[in-house]
Amino acid sequence: MTRTPTGDLIRPNRKTNGVGVQAEDTRICVVMVGLPARGKSLIAQKVTRYLHWLSIPSKIFNVGQYRRSETPAPSASFFATSNPEGERLRRAAAEAAVNDMIKWFQRGAGLIAILDATNSTKERRRWIQNRCAAEGIQTMFVESKCDDPDLIMSNIREVKATSPDYKGQDPEVAAQDFLARIQNYEKVYETIDEDELDLTYVKLIDVGQRVIINQIKDYLQSRVVYYLMNLHIKPRSIWLSRHGESTFNLEGKIGGDADISERGEAYARSLPDLVRRCGDGRKLTVWTSTLKRTIQTARFLTFEKLEWKALDELDSGVCDGLTYADIEEQYPEDFKARDEDKYNYRYLGGESYRDVVIRLEPIIMELERSENILIVTHQAILRCIYAYFMNVAQEKSPWMEVPLHTLIKLTPKAYSTHEERLKADIPAVSTWRGKGSSAKHAEPTDEERNSMGKNVGSGH
């Protein structure tokens, strides 16, 4: 829910995607281009995840998945130019993917589709462009070019050797077969060049070391380009932690700029050891909000520290400093409305989760540019960042439990993000409240506040 300037509750316009773009006015097919093992599928997955996070409905149509329905585990010879049956089946798979994509657009299911395949010839790219143009669908080609043999081989071993095409095979044998597959594609591969200047395209060269942009035309295309220009696929991890338990946590209050409690202080002192246990000896940069409880929690870490206003907790407006019982009593309609649509509900004079996502976008871009970052921030902020990396649906993200005194390590992989959690042996109240639960049962009792176990409190 959001509010008018007079404070009246209104529902978001369901005809838009949350950023003011009318669904019926925008249909874009992002066409991946590149030799195998150049990170195309990784880029496609990342772009789709980013778009979902921004409330822009999108979907990947992977031609390889269509091909596997007929040829689940082909050898490299299937992709040879001298194999007409292989060529027929690959063409049929591409046609099936494009046909399903067009039907998806016709149903009004989304705004951006990503066609994930090599699309390695000018003839194939022109065919896709003509099919889309006939349906009123814009095309935007994204070519990933990379000649670094170490990066290519790393991608082969990490991704392709565990592909469904090589299920159950020896990884070394699979890698060699995939190298032979690449050689078959190289015989016919045509990079995007001056003959295709009428096309809208982005060329990412050597994992984004150079970016060439041509004929970008509208807002959503620009958003995709902005994201692509900030990507890198080098190995890295992101560490996430809430601040140590605060005095407001103990009192069941939300917002504010409280100090950490005695147990929060103990967590701050234990955090360097937690990081050492899962940090692999890497040099990290620590990001905190500008609020005291995050700065106090991070002060024993010996790494470089940066404070970000964008990492401050969700602004609870007139409810700042209140308990949920106070809110339920003083603003009963608001309390109910937030339970009904927590992602879109905006506190009077404050923010919604949707607002937080918008202000966190520069943080996400900086995270994509960076390598190893430790973020010490707040519950609502971590929910939004975690939802981005783990592709959590918007309606679920505000209800996720992100406990105090727990370090979360996220390691992005090609098709997913690996998660590890290390919990400090230091108790804290729980600030999680389930949907529909009464605020009266969300406040910690005196006994719970003094308990050394996991307790029940309240929070954003």
User: Tokens representing 212?
Assistant: 């060439």
Residues annotated within a binding site: 242-249, 293
Rounded to whole angstroms, how far apart are CA atoms 313 and 155?
38
Q: Which of 243, 378, 405, 460 is catalytic?
A: 243
Residue 168 burial by Cβ neighbours in a 10 Å radius (0-12, 13-18, 19+) = exposed
313 is catalytic: yes
195 is catalytic: no
What residues form DSSP beta bridges with 306? 287
180's tokens: 């032979």
Of 313, 334, 351, 368, which residue is the catalytic one?
313
- Determine the length of the chain: 460
Binding residue ranges for substrate: 242-249, 293
Q: For residue 423, what is the enclosing H or E element?
A: strand 417-423
Which of 316, 320, 321 minimizes the C-alpha distance to 353?
A: 316
Residue that has been written with the tokens 């200047």 in this structure: 197
Please name every residue paired with 32 in a beta bridge, in sequence order, or none if there are none: 142
The answer to whether residue 135 is catalytic is no
What's the CA gap between 337 and 219, in Å, rounded?
Answer: 32
Q: Which of 460, 321, 304 is nearest to 377 (CA)?
A: 460
Helix (H, G, I), strand (E, B) or coil at 138: strand
- Minimal CA–CA distance to 420: which of 254, 237, 235, 297? 237
Please count the other Cβ atoms lying within 10 Å of the Cβ belonging to residue 24. 8
Could you write out the three-class secondary structure of 4-72? CCCCCEECCCCCECCCCCEHHHCCEEEEEECCCCCCHHHHHHHHHHHHHHCCCCEEEEEHHHHHHCCCC
Beta strands in 280-324 (DSSP E): 285-288, 304-307
Q: How far apart are CA 350 and CA 254, in angstroms?
A: 13
Other beta carbons within 10 Å of 47? 22
Angle subtended at Cα 344 by Cα 341 and Cα 350, rounded to the nearest 5 degrees: 120
Measured distance CA(299)–CA(384) in Å, rounded: 24
What is the rounded radius of gyration, in angstroms, for the C-alpha atoms of the chain?
25
Pairing of strands 372-377, 237-242: parallel
User: Which residues form the catalytic set?
Assistant: 116, 243, 313
